Structures are given as structure tokens and as C-alpha cells.
A and B are shown apart, each in its own frame.
Chain A
């Protein structure tokens, strides 16, 4: 099994000062799997997903991504970041660059593609996320949903093997959530390996292969969406699900 695993986490711990945020996370993700991570705020789910591309450092345990172990070696970190795309809650587009420049910057500078190739692929990605007509606007001129779709296109432009989503719809108006989820569902069905921190249970039902419930820095329960929704084993999971599903 571990031969196919593209992400392997073994007993990952992290502290913020004296606060123990991650308490021994074990997780293996296979190629093409879609994993949804959910749980109450402060449970460490965002921190965990950010350790996978080393935006946060783990202090104990082992994280191996695409066969490379994450250590403080800068070259390893940069190599992994090239293969791992990330989408943030707050989009984090570059406001001084146009949509097209946002998408082509990393392919041109990091992958060293010629500009024409990068722009051609960027336009294809903008078609895919449904906003090719916005290519020459600045992020500030776009709606939240459009910005998040640009952010997804920007991450995909590096042709990553893994995509991380850190609460991608939490900062969006309800009517814009759907347009972003549609893009993510299409992406999941195309075979991309995805780690998604989200509370969008509809999305989880539709495309997740496995779900992990986080609480207080630990994985409380994991299983297929079927198991989690119809037959949760832990009391804590039942309580949390009843709270987010009732209204």
C-alpha cells in the first residue's frame, strides 16, 4: 500500500509554544484519492494541511510527500512545493498582477517555461474554471468566487501532483460557493489527489474517498463518507455532524 501512497504522515506532532496543536497524526493518501478533513475550529486541521507543504513546520514525526521527506533542507522543501498546489481561504492572489500574470508567474519563474507556453496553459485553465474573459483584469475587480477560481487555476498551472485546499469556500458568499465547488468536483473526478479542509458535506458526499474527523489535534475517526454519515462510531463525531447538518 505504501508504494502507492503519495503522502505519508507518521506520528506528526506540532507545538505552538506550550500549545500542543497536532498530537500524533497518522495518515496515508494514495494517488488520485480525495480526502476531506473536517472538525471544529482550533482542532488543528488547517495547521496539519499546511505542514504538508511546509508552510508550518512539524517538530516530531515524519512527513513524506512524493517520496521526499520534509526536513529543514530548503531544496527538498522547494522541490515538494513545486509538486503540491495550495488554495487558501483568503485566496491570496497577487493584487498587483493581472489574472493571467498571477497564473503564469510561477510556471515561468520556477518551471522555466517560455512565456507563450505558460500563457497558453493559463488560458486553458481559465476556460476550465469558467472565466477566460477575466484574464486581463486585476484580482480586485473580480468577485470572491471568481478570485477563488483564479487561485485554483494558479495552483493548477504548476501541474502539481497534489492539491491542498484550506477551507476554500469559507470566505465566500453562499451564492458563490457553488461555482467554486463545481470546479473542485470536476477536478476530483479528473483524478487529482486532493486534501480538502472543508465543512461542505455535500462536496464530501459527492467526491470524497475518505473523511477524517479532527478534534483537539487528533484524528478522532476516519472512514468513507458512507460510514461517517450513516454510521459514525464516536460520540464526538455524531455530535459535531448533528450540529453542522441540522440547519
Chain B
């Protein structure tokens, strides 16, 4: 393609306004727009005045401040809290590495993420230890960012390794290794809770359900009838049952099928339920992407001598998954929010802890504050996932080639 030269072409016409000109053109003319503007202003006023008045005068935010540790980590023993903090610092480090090696430009969002812990540290009610950790966090992230800038390509090559080892270390740290009297005692899962539990359920749910969904999607398109039928039966069966039912079955019925001396941990049971449920949906999402690949791609790969496995791995899946990133991430966000259902089967995740706090007589009547707070947390992480998905699409150039 030839670029038109700069002398011969003029830039496309753009409209320029002053602020007042913009307001006049878009908000005030013709007359019905002015009317709609007024109506909208009144609505905003009517909704937000009482909300803000409540938030700043009547709301009893101390319920959050006092129970913040519960909401974040549940009843995780205080003397082992350092493990969680260590995990958070490791997370900041890996995020910093990713940012430094992947992001081009985009300094503003990076800066915001850096400052966020400091802003949090300003909130009243934290202990000195918490504040210290929050103050150190940005430095950890920044050091990682700076390290990644030094060796961008090497770091980028190993990002997956970094993230994988982070998650493994995270789970090991939270769980522990040895019996209670050992050097690194196991913390039983019945005291896991709050955001940490929600986070664990989400991460393990995503990491384990994705490959399973992938295999089910490929299985459903297999030429071997046995594999195809099993895949179809599994997908359709699971999709026809609500997640709550699956969670109940995993908690209550699963032990009935297992030999008496075998006891599977409650958290593991919940994860199994979530994984089995999500995999069925992800399988269908992936299959949608597979169907968008023209048959000529298979033929070209086969003609070159690639076998079925290589064809899927190098040719079909990379294209198919790119097409369905939005749906895949949508499913993961749904999974993240659906982890709140484990509260029904008695696990104290973020929602479960919130409910248990509200059950205490001292905090009667603070539902609004507590639910608003956990909604904000759910929103924050959902938004981060959605944002990352957009970045991923841009990096992979979806819809551009």
C-alpha cells in the first residue's frame, strides 16, 4: 500500500469547540435537549444527595473498620498473617514485572495502581503493621517494574512461569506444609475466609476449569463417537443444573460415594464443584470459536504433515481462542461472582463473612454499609479482569488482522 504524501492530503475536517460551545451544541439545543438536560440534572441531584448525606453523616462505617481483617482474611490466625502479606507482596512484584515488560506507554494507570495502597493506608482504623505493609507495597511493585524494564524480552518470555510459581507459592503459603507442631504448620481450611478465600476459589476455578473446558470442546468435535458422546452428555447435563445444586451435591452427596475413611476438604469440594460447572460453559464458548475457523486452515495444516494434535495446538486453538476472549473473560467474571454461592454451603468467603458479621447483635442495621463495601470489592476486581481482557485483545490484535 502506498502512503499518500503529506503535501497533497489535508487532514480530515475536525470540529473544534470551546467548552461552552460544546455544552450549547450538545446539551441545550434544540429546546427538548435542554429539557432533557434539566431532567437528568434533577435526577442526579435527587439520587445522590440522600446517598451522599447518608454516606457522610448517618452511615456507621466503623463496622467495616472494625471487621476489616475478618472481611479480608476471615479467621485466619493472627500469628500467621505474615503469610498472607508475603503473598500480597509477591503479587505486587509479579504485577510490577508484568507491567514493566508488557505495557507500552500507559503510565497513568500504572501510577494509579502504585498509589492505590497509599490511598488505602490513609483510611482510619488500620493497625500500624497493616499501614507499614501498605506503604511498602508500591516500592515492591516499582522495583519489579524497574527490573522488568532492564530486561524486557527475557522477563516477558518467563511471565507465565512467574505467575504460575506465584499461585503455587500463594497456595502453599496460605495452607502451610507441616503438622501443627512443625516449622510451617498447616492452617485448616475452616478458618480460611473473606477475600482471600474468594480469591483462591476464583483463581483455582479459572486455572482448572479452562483446560477442562478446552478438552470438552475438542471432545465434542471429535470424530470418535465415544469421546463425542461423553463430552456432549457431560456438557448438557452440567448446564442443565444450577450451580447451587452442584455445590450442595459436592458438599453433601460426594462424601456418600467415597469410602468411609476418605475425607475431602470442604474448600476442595467447593472448588471441584465450581470447576466442573464452569468447564461445561467454557467448553461451549471455546466451541463457538472453533466453529469460526475455516476448514481450509485444517487442510493446509494437514497438507504440511502436521498431526491432529499439532494442528489444534499451533493453528486452530490460537485463532479460535482469540475470537472468544470476550466471552471467556465474561465467564471468568461470572465465576468470580458466583463464588459467593459457597456462602450457602457454609464457607465463609467474602459474602459469608459479611453475613456472619451482620448476625452479630452489635452490628444490627448496618446491612447497607457492609453490602455496599463488599459490592465495591466485587466491582473493583471484576473491572480489573474486564480491563485486562481489553488489553489482551489489543495486544493480540483481535479484529485488526
Q: Cβ of B297 and Cβ of A154 under 8 Å apart? A: no
Query: A81 and B300 in contact (CB under 8 A), knowing A95-B319, A105-B314?
Result: no
Q: Report the minimal beta-carbon distance from A161 to chain B, rounded to whole angstroms.
A: 13
Number of interface residues of B (CB under 8 A): 19
Task: Let me know if B401 and A106 touch, CB within 8 A.
Answer: no
Say whether, besides A88-B296, A94-B315, A96-B318, A110 and B306 are in contact (CB < 8 Å).
yes
Q: Distance in Å from the Cβ of A90 to the closest Cβ of chain B?
A: 6
Most chain A beta-carbon contacts within 10 A, residue among B299, B303, B315, B322: B303
Contact B401 A78 (CB under 8 A): no
- Scan residues 303-331 of chain B and give those whose CB is less than 8 A from a CB of chain A: 303-307, 310, 314-315, 318-319, 322
Measured between beta carbons, the chain A residues less than 8 angstroms from B304 are 81, 85, 105-106, 110, 154-155, 158
> How many chain A residues touch B (Cβ–Cβ < 8 Å)?
27
Q: Does A203 count as interface, using CB distance less than 8 angstroms?
A: no
Q: Is B82 an interface residue (CB 8 A)?
A: no
Let me know if A130 is at the binding interface, CB within 8 A. Answer: no
CB proximity of B322 to chain A, nearest CB, Å: 7
Q: How far is the CA of A78 from the CA of B300 in the complex (A)?
A: 13
User: What residues on A are CB-neighbors of B302 within 8 Å?
Assistant: 53, 55, 81
> With the chains together, A200 CA to B314 CA distance in Å?
34
Judge if A93 is at the interface, Cβ distance under 8 Å: yes
Number of contacts between A and B (CB, 8 Å)? 62
Q: Which of B297, B305, B318 touches A81 (beta carbons < 8 Å)?
A: B305
Closest to A108 in B: B314
User: In the complex the two chains form, what is the Cα distance from A154 to B315 in whole Å?
Assistant: 14
- Residue A140 interfacial (CB < 8 Å): yes
With A95-B401, A138-B401 as known contacts, state yes or no: A55 contacts B306, CB within 8 Å. Answer: no
* B296–A92 CB distance below 8 A: yes
Given the interface pairs A92-B297, A96-B318, A109-B314, the reply to whether A158 lies near B401 with Cβ below 8 Å is no
Q: Is the CB of B401 within 8 A of A110?
A: no
Inside 8 A of B299's CB, which chain A residues have their CB? 55, 88, 92
Q: Whole-angstrom distance between the alpha carbons of A82 and B303 in the complex? A: 8
- Report the Cα distance A82→B302, complex, angstroms: 9
Name the residue of chain A whose CB is nearest to the CB of B296.
A92
* A 214-230 to B, binary, CB cutoff 8 A, 1 in contact else 0: 00000000000000000
Q: In the complex, are the beta carbons of B296 and A78 less than 8 A apart?
A: no
* Neighbouring A residues of B303 by C-beta, 8 Å: 53, 55, 81, 84-86, 88, 155
Give the contacts of A14-35 with B (CB-CB under 8 A). Answer: none
| Interfacial chain A residues near B322, Cβ < 8 Å | 96
Q: B residues within 8 A CB of A96? A: 318-319, 322, 401
Are B296 and A82 in touch, CB under 8 angstroms? Answer: no
**Cα–Cα, bound, A90→B314 (Å):** 20
User: Which A residues touch B307, using CB under 8 A?
Assistant: 74, 78
When distances are taken between beta carbons in the complex, the residues of chain A under 8 Å from B296 are 88, 90, 92
- Complex Cα distance, B303 from A138, in Å, reads 21
**Within the complex, what minimum Cβ distance (angstroms) separates A51 from chain B?**
13
Chain B residue with Cβ nearest A93? B300
* Nearest CB on B from A147, distance (A): 12
CA distance A120 to B67 in the complex (A): 64
* Interfacial chain B residues near A141, Cβ < 8 Å: 401
Kindly name the residue among A82, A85, A106, A155 whose own CB sees the greatest number of chain B CB atoms within 10 A. A106
In the assembly, what is the distance between CA of A138 and CA of B400, in Å?
Answer: 11
A78 engages B319 (CB within 8 Å): no
Q: Which residues of A contact B301 (CB under 8 A)?
A: 94
Nearest-CB residue, chain A, relative to B1? A141
Knowing A92-B296, A92-B299, A93-B300, the reply to whether A110 touches B305 (Cβ < 8 A) is yes
> Can you show 22 pairs from A to B with CB atoms below 8 A apart?
A53-B303, A55-B299, A55-B303, A78-B305, A81-B304, A84-B303, A85-B304, A88-B303, A92-B296, A92-B297, A92-B299, A94-B297, A94-B300, A94-B319, A96-B319, A105-B304, A106-B305, A106-B306, A110-B304, A138-B401, A151-B300, A154-B304
Residues of B within 8 A of A (CB): 294, 296-297, 299-307, 310, 314-315, 318-319, 322, 401
